[in-house]
Amino acid sequence: MNGVIFDIKEFTVHDGPGSRITVFLKGCPLRCRWCHNPEGLKTAPQLMYKSTFCSHCGRCRIPCDHPECRPFDRCIHACVNGCLTVSGEQVSGEALAERLLKHADLLKLMGGGITVSGGEPLLQAEFVCELAERLGSVHKAIQTSGFATPDVYRKVIGHFDYVMQDIKLADREEHIRYTGVSNELILQNAAWLKQSEKQFVFRVPLIPGITDTEENLRAVSEIVGECRTELLPYNEFAGAKYSMVGMEYTLGAEKNRAENFTDYFKNAVMRT
């Protein structure tokens, strides 16, 4: 079957054990205000437009015969200033697995493997299951918000060797306010993950004034208990791509203020 991806990064070091190839699946049911991949939120392929370099020459508006340009009402190949790109590519599970497995031997040698990220990979559950099956014995990791029904979550997670799940906000109302969805399913799935045999890590994004408050960190530390946890510093450039997909970034470019976030958790590391 086909899925939609928006990026493949080779030899990443923060997406699971060892050196990895990470594939980013398009589409996410959450709308975290700090999301740094706004081009990964919608499931369908979409046009990205860098207005800064646009000379308004109108070349991309001249009708063309390319079938791939039809959905965008512009010729995506016409711009000599590099203003137009498309985020999102339809790809079959078979073709994607073939692409990802090209470096499988090298990844194994480096103690790594392949990571499926997003967006939210659980949104394309069937495709992800097929892809994981096609990847065979290579080490497989998944990065997820944990937002899915328990049956979907458990089915997909069952195909992976290692799980990285976010725990963003402990309070239900705050979670709705800042991500657009309740955290009930996320916490339910996290509880299941804790008692499962899976290898996993919880990840807590430290968003200034939102998730990095003392109240939230204490409550999140209660949820994760002694489980391995990574604290992810705020990405100050998170807003960089919003205008390219016609969205507005509503958080300021703040830095995390405190240095001692690990004090709140029993088994946490700060990712640099």
Least Å from the CB of residue 51 to ligand SF4: 8
**Distance from C-alpha of 126 to C-alpha of 93, rounded to nearest angstrom:** 10
> Closest separation between CB of residue 245 and ligand SF4, Å?
13
Q: What is the DSSP string of 149-191?
A: -HHHHHHHHTT-SEEEEE---SSHHHHHHHHSS-SHHHHHHHH
Which of 13, 44, 54, 240: binder of ligand SF4 (CB under 6 A)? 54
Q: Which residues contact 39 (CB under 8 A, 6 or more apart)?
A: 6, 26, 46, 48, 87, 88, 241, 244, 245
99 lines the binding site for ligand SF4 (CB under 6 A): no
Contact flag: residue 113 with ligand SF4 (CB under 6 A)? no
Rounded to a whole number of angstroms, the minimum distance from the CB of residue 98 to ligand SF4 is: 26
Work out whether 220 is an interface residue with ligand SF4 (CB under 6 A).
Answer: no
40 CB neighbour count, 10 Å cutoff: 26
In the bound state with ligand SF4, the residue whose beta carbon lies nearer, of 55 and 95, is: 55
| Residues between 128 and 147 that touch ligand SF4 (CB under 6 A) | 145
Q: How far is the CB of 103 from ligand SF4 (least distance, A)?
A: 25
Applying CB under 6 A, the span of 15-23, 24-32, 96-104, 218-226 interacting with ligand SF4 comes to 24-32
Neighbours of 256 (CB within 10 A): 18
Q: How are strands ordered across the β-sheet holding 199-206?
A: 89-92, 2-12, 20-25, 113-118, 140-144, 162-166, 199-206, 229-233, 268-270
**Phi, psi dihedral angles at 127 (to 5 degrees):** -65, -40
Q: Tell me if 37 contacts ligand SF4 by CB under 6 A.
A: yes
Q: Does 88 bind ligand SF4 (CB under 6 A)?
A: no
* Residue 244 near ligand SF4 by CB under 6 A: no
- Write out the residues near ligand SF4 by the rule CB under 6 A: 28, 30-32, 35, 37, 40-41, 54-60, 78-79, 81, 83-84, 118-120, 145
